Structure 1
Amino acid sequence: MGDYGEIAAVLAAHDGVITAGQALAGGLSRARIRGRVMRGEWIRVVPGLFRSASHEFSEAAMVRIVVLAHRGVADGTTAAWWHGMVRTLPTPLTVSCASEPAAVDLPVQVRTSRRSLRPQWLTEVRGLPLTGKPLTALLAAVELPDGSVFLDRMLQVGQVQLAELERVVAEAAGMHGIVEARRLVAVASSDSESAAERLFVRLLQRRGVTGWVQQLWCGRWRLDFAWPEYRVAVEISGWAFHRDPRRHGNDFAKANHLEHIQWRELQFDWHMLADSGEDCVQQVIDLLNSRGVVAM
């Protein structure tokens, strides 16, 4: 393969983005690099970094340019997108730099963090340096508005394992964001369903809602919370990755039974209670009031 073929292969594999080092290694001289820029074949982004004018300026190309221009690694939500953990590329783009990041003028919002990342926390995917899936999932969970739901889903589909997350939060003590990540991992490691039930009790007590019974038998099922006089039930679940698939069918059967005997049921999980607990309790109050109870 000649110079042209090698350079074309690099551009094709890297979303039309190429560094001066890659071009030199592919057989181009500095004069020939300058010639491509002068002819408009390549667009100089920052010193030593170019993109091909004949390639689509895609989101992947922008991520490559941002990471390479800042001499860093993609982390957080940007790394999550590159790993395929999220479908839509969040902004700002997030990059970790070992030293003071370079001042780069790019047409996209970028947030840089100065971090010294251990080699075992890093990986390379399609030629881009980025944080590995465990650290990526933790940092993204802290950044995303529905972070606990995101982390739960990553555990549920096997993108990350709980043991990996526990190891990283132990190793990365002191890193920005790890305190919140450690809290999420602690919940994931525990009986999150019981934690959710305890949280629900605190929320009910805070609003002064009374009259409920826990673990009430109803037919062959037990109800997590019930107001039996008014036929209102609340079912609480923890993180989805903990759930036994057999229980899923059982929950449908329980819901059908409650419907048959004219009960009303609300369902909340840990994420709903942790993120919008007051709204959950208000739904309970509204339902009780609609069935003749003055809950507040």
Structure 2
Amino acid sequence: MEWPFLGSEALAAGLLNRYQLATRYDAVYRNVYVPSGQSLTPVQKAHAAWLWSHRRATIVGVSAAAMHGAKWIDARLPAELNQRSQHKTSGIVLRNDTLTPEEVTVVRGLPVTTPTRTAFDLGRRAGRTLAVIRVDALLQVTPLKLSAVAALIECHRGARGLEQLREVIKLADAGAESPQETRTRLVLTDAGLRPSHTQINVYDRLGHVARIDMGWPEWNVGVEYDGEQHWSDPATRAADIDRQARLEALSWRIIRVSAEILRYRPHTIVERVRAALRQAGAIV
């Protein structure tokens, strides 16, 4: 049986009996069931919360981002709905915002805020870095236009967090392919070294050499965030060494960033990038 589902509807339709419902399924919200022991993805959690609302609410916030296909959403976060209701339940955050018809669309048959409205909401929340990460994620998977988000500011002048949202719009970039790439870019931007390009394709006479996370192709300086597999997996490590050699043969200077450097020594990233740019002839 498809899930999540409303227990009362399944019983009324004769799809299962009360014993089966009690022994084979878990209630994630009141009257909303999934198979026992099943962990819900953010999309499934959003669907379950919408069923809990008696199919009346609009899916918003991180739940809307998940519905649009955004990555990097913590499955432990509560579902988010927009509904004018005083009834609350554990595991669901209820918003009470005014949404215009143009700010709501349908995804997988469910009412969801548009990518523009979703970015407008997530970009205003406390925590500039996380806000940029979430807007970056929406830019990656939807036709979101930052100019459209800016236009919403004029329509909702009294909303909270607009000052931060204006900054987030300036900082967001569709080229970020992970939260750590966004964090790396922000470290450089805050130091006055915002990369001029993201996802830079580099070629030699034999063809494609690499795609660099971010950098300055005009100076042949690139910055790469390397996840754990780049340091721990022998095959990946060997491929990285060959790739680095080919890039250096094309006069590229590559600054590699690890989780440890990004978290504890961000100044090291700035120092190395600034030195590489100066060596290339840039005035920074």
User: How does the TM-score come out when normalised to structure 2?
Assistant: 0.53
Residue 67 of structure 1 aligns to which amino acid in structure 2? W
Shift of 1:155: 3.5
2:46 paired residue among 43, 47, 63: 63
Residue 147 of structure 1 aligns to which amino acid in structure 2? A
2:217 paired residue among 228, 234, 251: 251
Q: Is residue 81–residue 89 contact of structure 1 (8 Å, CA) maintained in 2?
A: no
Distance 2:148 2:137 in 1: 15
Counterpart position of 1:103: 88
1:237 paired residue among 191, 195, 211: 195
Shift of 1:84: 0.5
Where do residues 166-185 of structure 1 align in structure 2 (5 Å cutoff)? 166-185=150-169
Shift of 1:138: 3.2
What's the C-alpha RMSD, in Å, of the aligned pairs? 5.2
Instruction: Give the total of aligned pairs.
Output: 218
Distance 1:111 1:163 in 2: 28
Residue 17 of structure 1 aligns to which amino acid in structure 2? F
1:77 paired residue among 37, 62, 69: 62
Q: Does 1:116 align with 2:101?
A: no
Q: Is residue 77–residue 139 contact of structure 1 (8 Å, CA) maintained in 2?
A: no
Q: Is residue 65–residue 138 contact of structure 2 (8 Å, CA) maintained in 1?
A: no
Q: Which is richer in helix?
A: 1
Q: Is residue 60–residue 81 contact of structure 2 (8 Å, CA) maintained in 1?
A: yes
Counterpart position of 2:20: 40
Distance 2:156 2:7 in 1: 31
Distance 1:149 1:52 in 2: 30
Q: Where in structure 2 are there 5+ consecutive unaligned residues?
A: 174-186, 204-211, 222-244, 258-264, 277-284
Distance 2:137 2:29 in 1: 38
Distance 1:72 1:163 in 2: 27
Q: Is residue 62–residue 80 contact of structure 2 (8 Å, CA) maintained in 1?
A: no
Larger radius of gyration: 1
Distance 1:244 1:153, change over 3 A: farther
Distance 1:19 1:201 in 2: 51
Distance 1:201 1:132 in 2: 29
Shift of 1:80: 0.8
Percentage of pairs with the same residue: 17
Distance 1:55 1:116 in 2: 37
Q: Is residue 93–residue 110 contact of structure 1 (8 Å, CA) maintained in 2?
A: yes
Distance 1:41 1:173 in 2: 48
